[in-house]
Structure 1
Amino acid sequence: MHDFDDDVLDFFIENQKQLFPEDVASSREEAEAFLEDCCAVVVDSVDEVIEYFEEAGVDFDSDSILEASEVFDIGDGRFLIVEG
Protein backbone atom coordinates (compact mmCIF):
# COMPACT_ATOMS: atom_id res chain seq x y z
CA MET A 1 0.00 0.00 0.00
CA HIS A 2 1.30 3.42 -0.93
CA ASP A 3 0.82 6.50 1.20
CA PHE A 4 1.43 9.20 -1.36
CA ASP A 5 -0.72 12.03 -0.04
CA ASP A 6 -0.63 15.52 -1.53
CA ASP A 7 2.20 16.64 0.79
CA VAL A 8 4.42 13.75 -0.33
CA LEU A 9 3.59 14.24 -4.01
CA ASP A 10 4.17 18.01 -3.89
CA PHE A 11 7.45 17.55 -2.03
CA PHE A 12 8.65 15.00 -4.57
CA ILE A 13 7.74 17.27 -7.50
CA GLU A 14 9.63 20.17 -5.93
CA ASN A 15 12.69 18.09 -4.96
CA GLN A 16 12.94 15.36 -7.61
CA LYS A 17 16.24 16.73 -8.93
CA GLN A 18 17.79 15.54 -5.66
CA LEU A 19 17.81 12.11 -7.33
CA PHE A 20 17.26 12.68 -11.04
CA PRO A 21 19.06 15.09 -13.41
CA GLU A 22 15.78 16.00 -15.14
CA ASP A 23 12.19 16.24 -13.95
CA VAL A 24 10.32 12.95 -14.09
CA ALA A 25 6.96 14.40 -13.02
CA SER A 26 5.24 17.75 -13.32
CA SER A 27 1.86 16.94 -11.75
CA ARG A 28 0.62 14.99 -8.75
CA GLU A 29 -0.78 12.32 -11.05
CA GLU A 30 2.56 11.89 -12.84
CA ALA A 31 4.43 11.87 -9.52
CA GLU A 32 2.13 9.24 -8.05
CA ALA A 33 2.41 7.01 -11.13
CA PHE A 34 6.20 7.35 -11.14
CA LEU A 35 6.54 6.61 -7.42
CA GLU A 36 4.28 3.57 -7.73
CA ASP A 37 6.26 2.30 -10.73
CA CYS A 38 9.57 2.46 -8.87
CA CYS A 39 8.09 0.99 -5.66
CA ALA A 40 8.81 4.06 -3.55
CA VAL A 41 7.76 3.94 0.09
CA VAL A 42 6.86 6.43 2.78
CA VAL A 43 8.14 5.66 6.27
CA ASP A 44 7.37 7.40 9.54
CA SER A 45 10.77 7.74 11.20
CA VAL A 46 14.55 7.62 10.86
CA ASP A 47 14.45 4.16 12.45
CA GLU A 48 12.15 2.96 9.65
CA VAL A 49 14.55 4.40 7.04
CA ILE A 50 17.37 2.38 8.61
CA GLU A 51 15.16 -0.71 8.81
CA TYR A 52 14.24 -0.35 5.13
CA PHE A 53 17.89 -0.34 4.03
CA GLU A 54 18.79 -3.18 6.42
CA GLU A 55 15.97 -5.34 5.00
CA ALA A 56 17.10 -4.49 1.46
CA GLY A 57 20.61 -5.67 2.34
CA VAL A 58 22.16 -2.30 1.50
CA ASP A 59 25.48 -1.47 3.15
CA PHE A 60 25.19 2.02 4.62
CA ASP A 61 26.46 4.33 7.34
CA SER A 62 23.59 5.00 9.74
CA ASP A 63 25.05 8.42 10.55
CA SER A 64 24.67 9.60 6.95
CA ILE A 65 21.76 7.54 5.62
CA LEU A 66 19.47 10.58 5.57
CA GLU A 67 21.90 12.27 3.18
CA ALA A 68 21.41 9.53 0.57
CA SER A 69 19.95 10.95 -2.65
CA GLU A 70 17.10 8.42 -2.59
CA VAL A 71 15.91 9.53 0.87
CA PHE A 72 13.62 12.55 0.88
CA ASP A 73 12.83 14.21 4.24
CA ILE A 74 9.22 15.33 3.81
CA GLY A 75 9.64 17.66 6.78
CA ASP A 76 6.81 16.33 8.93
CA GLY A 77 8.67 13.37 10.41
CA ARG A 78 8.08 11.14 7.37
CA PHE A 79 10.57 10.11 4.73
CA LEU A 80 10.06 9.14 1.09
CA ILE A 81 12.48 6.48 -0.18
CA VAL A 82 12.78 6.29 -3.95
CA GLU A 83 14.76 3.59 -5.71
CA GLY A 84 16.66 5.49 -8.40
Structure 2
Amino acid sequence: MQGYDEAVVKCFLKNQTQLFPEPVADSYEEAEAFLEECMAVVTNSKKEVWEYFDEECVDMEGADEDEILEAAEVFDVGDGRYLIVE
Protein backbone atom coordinates (compact mmCIF):
# COMPACT_ATOMS: atom_id res chain seq x y z
CA MET A 1 0.00 0.00 0.00
CA GLN A 2 1.31 3.42 -0.95
CA GLY A 3 1.09 6.18 1.64
CA TYR A 4 0.06 9.65 0.59
CA ASP A 5 1.64 12.69 2.18
CA GLU A 6 -0.20 15.87 3.10
CA ALA A 7 0.65 17.72 -0.12
CA VAL A 8 -0.75 14.91 -2.27
CA VAL A 9 -3.98 14.52 -0.29
CA LYS A 10 -4.60 18.27 -0.16
CA CYS A 11 -3.95 18.55 -3.92
CA PHE A 12 -6.56 15.89 -4.62
CA LEU A 13 -9.06 17.33 -2.15
CA LYS A 14 -8.75 20.80 -3.71
CA ASN A 15 -8.81 19.67 -7.36
CA GLN A 16 -10.94 16.52 -7.38
CA THR A 17 -13.62 18.09 -9.58
CA GLN A 18 -11.18 18.15 -12.51
CA LEU A 19 -11.83 14.40 -12.72
CA PHE A 20 -15.24 13.94 -11.12
CA PRO A 21 -18.44 15.97 -11.75
CA GLU A 22 -18.90 16.45 -8.01
CA PRO A 23 -16.63 15.93 -4.99
CA VAL A 24 -15.98 12.35 -3.90
CA ALA A 25 -14.41 13.45 -0.61
CA ASP A 26 -15.33 16.23 1.79
CA SER A 27 -12.49 15.88 4.28
CA TYR A 28 -8.80 15.12 4.37
CA GLU A 29 -9.50 11.66 5.78
CA GLU A 30 -12.07 10.86 3.08
CA ALA A 31 -9.68 12.03 0.37
CA GLU A 32 -6.86 9.89 1.74
CA ALA A 33 -9.14 6.85 1.99
CA PHE A 34 -10.37 7.40 -1.58
CA LEU A 35 -6.81 7.58 -2.93
CA GLU A 36 -5.91 4.38 -1.10
CA GLU A 37 -9.03 2.61 -2.34
CA CYS A 38 -8.44 3.45 -5.99
CA MET A 39 -4.68 2.83 -5.62
CA ALA A 40 -3.71 6.24 -6.96
CA VAL A 41 -0.07 6.59 -7.99
CA VAL A 42 2.37 9.39 -7.21
CA THR A 43 5.16 9.97 -9.70
CA ASN A 44 8.25 12.09 -9.13
CA SER A 45 8.50 13.67 -12.57
CA LYS A 46 6.79 14.33 -15.89
CA LYS A 47 8.84 11.51 -17.37
CA GLU A 48 7.45 9.07 -14.79
CA VAL A 49 3.89 10.11 -15.71
CA TRP A 50 4.64 9.21 -19.34
CA GLU A 51 6.26 5.91 -18.28
CA TYR A 52 3.26 5.06 -16.09
CA PHE A 53 0.80 5.55 -18.96
CA ASP A 54 3.07 3.54 -21.25
CA GLU A 55 3.28 0.66 -18.74
CA GLU A 56 -0.50 0.70 -18.29
CA CYS A 57 -0.93 0.49 -22.10
CA VAL A 58 -2.79 3.79 -22.29
CA ASP A 59 -3.05 4.95 -25.91
CA MET A 60 -0.81 8.02 -26.13
CA GLU A 61 -0.34 8.00 -29.88
CA GLY A 62 0.03 11.54 -31.14
CA ALA A 63 0.02 13.00 -27.64
CA ASP A 64 2.83 15.15 -26.36
CA GLU A 65 4.01 15.59 -22.78
CA ASP A 66 1.79 18.61 -22.13
CA GLU A 67 -1.33 16.78 -23.32
CA ILE A 68 -0.57 13.86 -21.00
CA LEU A 69 -0.10 16.21 -18.04
CA GLU A 70 -3.41 17.92 -18.83
CA ALA A 71 -5.34 14.64 -18.66
CA ALA A 72 -8.15 14.81 -16.10
CA GLU A 73 -6.67 11.97 -14.06
CA VAL A 74 -3.27 13.70 -13.65
CA PHE A 75 -2.97 16.15 -10.77
CA ASP A 76 0.04 18.47 -10.45
CA VAL A 77 1.00 18.32 -6.77
CA GLY A 78 3.03 21.51 -7.22
CA ASP A 79 6.42 20.26 -6.11
CA GLY A 80 7.46 18.39 -9.25
CA ARG A 81 5.34 15.35 -8.42
CA TYR A 82 2.13 14.21 -10.07
CA LEU A 83 -0.80 12.24 -8.69
CA ILE A 84 -2.51 9.84 -11.10
CA VAL A 85 -6.04 8.78 -10.17
CA GLU A 86 -7.81 6.16 -12.28
TM-score bracket relative to the smaller structure:
over 0.9
Percentage of identical aligned residues = 61
2:84 counterpart of 1:81? yes
CA offsets 1:16-68 (integer angstroms, 9 cap, x no match): 00000010011111111101111101110001000000000001113310010
Tell me, which stretches of 5 or more residues in structure 2 are unaligned?
A: none
Question: Unpaired runs of 5+ in structure 1?
Answer: none
Q: What SS does the aligned partner of 1:26 have?
A: coil
- Aligned match of 2:15: 15
Within 5 Å, which residues of 2 pair with 1:18-29? Answer: 18-29=18-29
1:35 and 2:35 aligned = yes
- Report the TM-score, using the length of structure 2 for normalisation: 0.91
Provide the TM-score with structure 1 as the length reference.
0.93
Following TM superposition, the consecutive aligned residue runs of length 4 or more in structure 1 with deviations greater than 6 angstroms are none
Q: Could you tell me how far apart the structure 1 residues matched to 2:41 and 2:50 are? A: 13
Paired residues, number: 83
RMSD of the alignment, in Å?
A: 1.0
